[in-house]
Amino acid sequence: MTDSPLKELTIKKFREALAKKNISVSELTGEILDYIKKEDGKIKAFLSLREEEAVREATEADEALRQEAGPLIGVPLAIKDNILIKGEITTAGSKILETYKGAYDATVMEKLKREKPVLLGKTNLDEFAMGSSTENSGFQITRNPRDPERVPGGSSGGSAAAVAAGMALGALGSDTFGSIRQPASFCGVVGLKPTYGAVSRSGLIAMTSSMDQIGPIAKTVEDAAILFSAISGYDPMDSTSVSHEYGDEILSPDMEKAKALRIGVPDEYFIEGLDPNVRTAVGKAIDELKALGVKFKKISLPHTKYAVPAYYLSMPAEVSANLARFDGIRYARPGLAFKNLVDVYFKTRGRGFGTEVKRRIILGTFVLSSGYYDAYYARAQKARKIIAQDFEDAFKAVDVILTPVAPTPAFKIGEKINDPLAMYLSDIFTGPVNLAGLPAISIPTKGGSGLPIGFQLIGRKFREADILALGRLYESG
């Protein structure tokens, strides 16, 4: 795709340009919309574009900037299409919702709208966020801007691709087992998965309610912190939301304190089969942080190997329950003729859901069925507790944990789509974080001439400040 200065434009740089009056919000919005219309046919990051609304919001932002100076006023953002915007189509990447309009704003959208950004459009995803490559979308396959023959990762592949391509200065995604961090790593951008409960899930189309978490994708750690600060906070509309006040350290970290943080490196994440390029890139990032004065310690997370099986028993069970509502009554599909109520169910779900979604519903229904619940689902929950305990034990010795994000760089389109197990294993390093409800961030490693490779920083619950500060230290080093 065409090289563009938009690829290098960050939220911070845009704010500086606005302050110097080098550009207006309307001018930048026009440039980005033109760029999307010219280039997104190759990348396919967006499912829908809010062109008229974005132009109006840009004009309103220019007016607001005469009196206000909020960090997100006029910033062009993209939104993953499983997050509701009132009155606008929200498909979750599925044909079953291709005509569904959000009845209300997700809480994160209410919060963002108060900040007055420009909302460019909704981005592509694996159907109902079920996938690691954005090949499972019911509408289109998104391509990696760094190599269009490769996947952008998933399920937030559209959001990551849009930011990496310069089609948005930031985006929102959702992360259930790595769906923000893995695409961020594959596309060479920053992706933050907050602590479970730190950001409201109200208005997020649910996949796995005990693990889903909305978070930001951006070009820098600082930009991710700005977005996180805007969307975090307690929400009475989300029963899993936690009341926790984040201080100034999210946006204004103390770098000397960051250098004093102890980082643990688990042997279990540097296993046989880890791509040599990933091992080298992450090893170099560790050396660079050591050169900045950060101390490292070897640790063990001994039950890591159970994360993928625990997830792929727990997640389908919740999928089966959450997707039961899509029965053709409340979410009808146009153009289908029905003979009776049973016909409504079979035709709507049979033709509306894709292969991966059907696979997970069937598996989830099985593991919850009589005679199998204790053998599968209950044992998976016990494994989940043990994995969470591993992290608690590790955090007695260290403040932050560093690992690879994915075992490989971005793989080619079609390479794993017919091998579900190989696809599931691409989340082996990100998933344990979701099982434990911890915050984690993917940060691009420096200096590589090939495909992007990210490393992951994992923090204690509600200690996003630690991983954000270390990320900024690494970027500035």
Task: Establish whether 48 is a catalytic residue.
Answer: no
Task: Establish whether 179 is a catalytic residue.
Answer: yes
Residues in contact with 319: Cβ distance below 8 Å, sequence separation at least 6, in sequence order: 128, 130, 207, 208, 357, 360, 361, 364
Task: Establish whether 155 is a catalytic residue.
Answer: yes
94, 155, 200, 241: the catalytic one is: 155
Residues in contact with 271: Cβ distance below 8 Å, sequence separation at least 6, in sequence order: none
CA trace torsion 278, 282, 287, 293 (10° rounding): 180
Q: Is 455 helix (H, G, I), strand (E, B) or coil?
A: strand
Closest C-alpha among 419, 469, 411, 413 to residue 441: 469
Residue 327 class from Cβ within 10 Å (0-12 exposed, 13-18 middle, 19+ buried)?
A: middle
26, 44, 80, 202: the catalytic one is: 80
132, 159, 174, 179: the catalytic one is: 179
Using alpha carbons only, give the angle 136, 141, 144 rounded to the nearest 5 degrees.
115
Q: Which two tokens stand for residue 238?
A: 């989300």
* 83, 200 contact by CB (below 8 A): no
* 172, 201 contact by CB (below 8 A): no
Alpha helices, DSSP H, located in 235-325: 255-259, 276-291, 307-322
Q: In Å, how far are 171, 264, 369 from 77, measured between CA atoms?
A: 5, 34, 43
Place of tokens 């109006």: 56
d(C-alpha 395, C-alpha 262), whole Å:
10
The dihedrals phi and psi of 105, each to the nearest 5 degrees, come to: -80, 135
* 174, 213 contact by CB (below 8 A): yes
Residues with active-site annotation = 80, 155, 179
